Amino acid sequence: MEMHATYMQRALELAEWGRGNVSPNPLVGCVIVCDDKIIGEGYHQKYGGPHAEVNAVNSVIDSEILKKSTVYVTLEPCAHFGKTPPCANLLVEKQVKKVVIAATDSNPLVGGKGIEILKNAGIEVETGILEKEARKQNRRFFTQIEQKRPYVILKWAQTLDGFVARKDYSSKWISNSQSRQMVHKWRAEEDAILVGKNTALYDDPALNVRDWVGKNPLRLVIDPKLELKPDLKIFDQAIPTICYNTVKSEIQGNIEWVKLSPNFKISALLEDLQKRKIQSVLVEGGAFLLNKFIESELWDEARVFSSKTRFKEGVKAPRLPISATERIQFQEDELAIYYHV
């Protein structure tokens, strides 16, 4: 068991290299072992590209050795034809000796079918090795499949005395440069980023990735009555952007206006994103919008920076009903991470 965990841990490390590039597919890593030696490795690198098992198999110099090898994979091998052929069939074709799986796939297209293909071919299968770690790594994927909505991450920065902005709604800069760089890393890892009308109006954020290397997320803004001016950065056409409102549905270049019903709920927005196969959303404010997610209990994770700055008065920071799971120091800032389970 300890040996299995060691190789599976390596597979999880490999899977992480795909973060930000494989959605709406899951993160998957694969390690191939023969005679207690790793002979092949691979991970799912890009959506539409070869899966982890394919890359791992292709990295093995002598394919004949696969017949006496054990394959460690973080997620059940796929059994359906999508953008690529089924990985379960590939492992059968290569006549591998054994397959060790961390987590089974709850996608209805797979749902045990990959394991069934392997077993029917006489391949030994073992599951549940580092399953908890694998599900946590792919919590975005599993949330979308099982809860039929994107994984929601709330993020804000607050002062020592509990404010996210001054009375005039200005907030630059509560957190330090290291904390802000981390936020850009997060943006590169998620499918979409969402702000409310006041944040777009008073902060005029670009909502792109500047202080990190990675793709820009889909930009989302809620402007119910279409009161925001078109010269704001969020409407600069540089990045695909969706404006949720109650007035019109229209597309102009990179900007799409999506009309929702009057007095729409947060769930309606998430339903639209689910249809678009958006796997995760980073909600960056403001306080009113963040509180809506908290009140609706439609959030999965919160990342809260607290600085030593004091405003004395202003817009109060949201309050979470649970305690932080983890606290990390970023110079003088503290990052608290919460998981809503």
Tokens describing residue 108: 């209805």
Of the listed 2, 13, 53, 227, which one is catalytic? 53
CA angle 218, 220, 139 (to 5 degrees): 65
Sign (positive or negative) of CA dihedral 195, 196, 198, 201? positive
Q: For residues 179 and 210, what is the distance between their CA atoms, to the nearest angstrom?
A: 14
Residues in a beta bridge with 40: 32
- List % helix, strand, coil for the chain (3-state, nearest 5): 30, 25, 45
Contact between 197 and 229 under an 8 Å Cβ cutoff? The reply is no
Q: Is 53 tagged catalytic?
A: yes
**Measuring CA to CA, which residue among 263, 9, 300, 281 is closest to residue 139?**
300
Tally helices (H) and strands (E) across the chain.
Answer: 10, 17
Residue 199's CB is within 10 A of a number of other CB atoms, namely 27
**Measuring CA to CA, which residue among 50, 266, 61, 53 is closest to residue 154?**
266
Annotated binding-site residue numbers for Zn(2+): 51, 78, 87
Q: Which residue blocks in 100-192 are alpha helix, DSSP H?
A: 113-120, 131-137, 139-147, 177-189
Q: DSSP states of 34-72 as a string? A: ETTEEEEEEE--STTS--HHHHHHHT-S-GGGGGG-EEE
User: How many residues can be counted in the chain?
Assistant: 341
Residues in a beta bridge with 275: none
So which residues are the catalytic ones? Answer: 53
